[in-house]
Chains A and B, each alone.
Chain A
């Protein structure tokens, strides 16, 4: 059986059902195939999905039974003592929060001394030298990256990794979010910095990683 081919108008009509996962198998496959090639319809579905997700966050809070927190933490069984890299990342993140909330600490780049795993934190500076955020990057072949910008009102922005060979790789586009984290697919030893650009591609700031 040939897969169903949908037009943009048909996908827009189905977009609310797609966002709420109400489509049957054939319709879902056809919508997904269309979205793979159509950025406009993809944005339409994502907008609706975003709104549907927001409604879930509006479910009223309820106080869990006494001891719930302890039982959850016992089931997670995190390491008894915070791991060195964990402690370091938390410290780095705290540095970010502190320095974004007050006067910059003067810390430009700090390297964790652990031989097993390192992580770097760097200031995102504008061309004029103003501090607009922090980046934390761990080591490894798929490093974890945490980015925090001090001014969300900059609106839409994009982040790209600057590689040691001078090329760059886009890692995400954001709107109205002061911070985010995620893994990146470029090995740490090939990353020399991070650039933040506005929607038009103009550089807002750059962080240099040693």
Chain B
């Protein structure tokens, strides 16, 4: 049995004590996801590669302070990657989200099956289904906020809608996702 079979928490623990096998297994498991996130936010593969690499470096540097009681290791890693990508976006000046990216947010299909990090994650399956069921404007508004780190004002500007409408769409979408999750936790009545 090798490190690739260990949980993310165990791998982060291994990284905290400088274990090379744990580093390798952690990077191998999450490189496609972290690169995918950076690539989607930044739109440039070369820049996305730099940011994804920085994300793993930061995770490695901070592994000893990771606390599994606050968040799962994968959420922790993706938060690091997302924040780095958003910092990079803000440094480069606010660029409008490309029209094709916006259209993609409206029609995105969420594949929960094939990726290692998503296997067995029923909560993700529920959230993915709820996202797909949202009206396109709400889904776009929420994904602009969560994936792209847009403020409500930026969502309003991108969508050319009033600020209040943007806030309402984001809030409503998030609350609907939460409700779907609560319903799923309750199980069939």
Chain B 1-14 interface 0/1 with A at a Cβ cutoff of 8 Å (1 = within) = 10101110110111
Contact A182 B67 (CB under 8 A): yes
Chain B 62-74 interface 0/1 with A at a Cβ cutoff of 8 Å (1 = within) = 0011111111101
Question: Contacts A17-B171, A22-B151, A87-B19 given: A180-B56 contact, CB under 8 Å?
Answer: no
Contact B14 A86 (CB under 8 A): yes
Contact B39 A62 (CB under 8 A): yes
Contact B78 A86 (CB under 8 A): no
Question: Contacts A53-B75, A180-B68, A181-B68 given: A71-B53 contact, CB under 8 Å?
Answer: yes
Tell me if B28 counts as interface (CB < 8 A to partner A). Answer: yes
The smallest C-beta distance from B20 to any residue of chain A, in angstroms, reads 4
Q: Which residues of A contact B146 (CB under 8 A)?
A: 20, 52, 55-56
Tell me if A60 counts as interface (CB < 8 A to partner B). Answer: yes
Q: Which residues of A contact B121 (CB under 8 A)?
A: 57
Minimal Cβ-Cβ distance residue in A for B181:
A51
Question: Contacts A48-B174, A55-B146 given: A76-B12 contact, CB under 8 Å?
Answer: no
Binds B, one of A32-40, A77-85, A125-133, A186-194: A77-85
Tell me if B90 counts as interface (CB < 8 A to partner A). Answer: no
The smallest C-beta distance from A134 to any residue of chain B, in angstroms, reads 11
Contact A181 B17 (CB under 8 A): no
Complex Cα gap A62–B48 (Å): 11
Tell me if A58 counts as interface (CB < 8 A to partner B). Answer: yes
Q: Which residues of A contact B37 (CB under 8 A)?
A: 56, 59
Tell me if A148 counts as interface (CB < 8 A to partner B). Answer: yes
> Among the listed A54, A61, A81, which residue makes an inter-chain contact with B33, where contact means beta carbons less than 8 Å apart?
A61
Residue among B17, B114, B121, B151 with max Cβ neighbours from chain A (10 Å)? B17
Tell me if B16 counts as interface (CB < 8 A to partner A). Answer: yes
Interface residues in B105-164 by Cβ distance below 8 A to A read 108, 110-112, 114-115, 117-118, 121, 123-124, 127-128, 131, 142-143, 145-147, 151-152
Q: Which residues of B contact A20 (CB under 8 A)?
A: 145-146, 170, 174
Contact B27 A73 (CB under 8 A): yes
Contact B152 A22 (CB under 8 A): yes
Residue among A56, A69, A85, A177 with max Cβ neighbours from chain B (10 Å)? A56
> Among the listed A58, A83, A174, which residue makes an inter-chain contact with B18, where contact means beta carbons less than 8 Å apart?
A83
Interface residues in A1-39 by Cβ distance below 8 A to B read 16-17, 19-20, 22
Q: Could you list 9 A-B pairs, sorted by A, with CB under 8 Å?
A: A17-B170, A55-B146, A56-B146, A73-B23, A75-B57, A76-B27, A79-B20, A94-B3, A97-B6
Binding site for A on B (CB under 8 A): 1, 3, 5-7, 9-10, 12-24, 27-28, 31-33, 35-37, 39-40, 45, 48-49, 52-53, 56-57, 60, 64-72, 74-75, 78-79, 82, 108, 110-112, 114-115, 117-118, 121, 123-124, 127-128, 131, 142-143, 145-147, 151-152, 167, 170-171, 174-175, 177-178, 181-182
Q: A47-B182, A48-B174 provided; 17 other pairs, C-beta below 8 A?
A: A22-B152, A47-B181, A51-B174, A53-B78, A54-B177, A55-B143, A56-B75, A59-B36, A60-B110, A61-B36, A61-B115, A86-B14, A90-B22, A93-B6, A97-B7, A144-B16, A182-B67
Binding site for B on A (CB under 8 A): 16-17, 19-20, 22, 47-48, 51-65, 68-69, 71-73, 75-76, 78-83, 85-87, 89-90, 93-94, 96-98, 136, 144, 146, 148, 171-172, 174, 176-183
**Top 3 nearest A-B pairs by Cβ distance?**
A180-B68, A86-B19, A62-B36
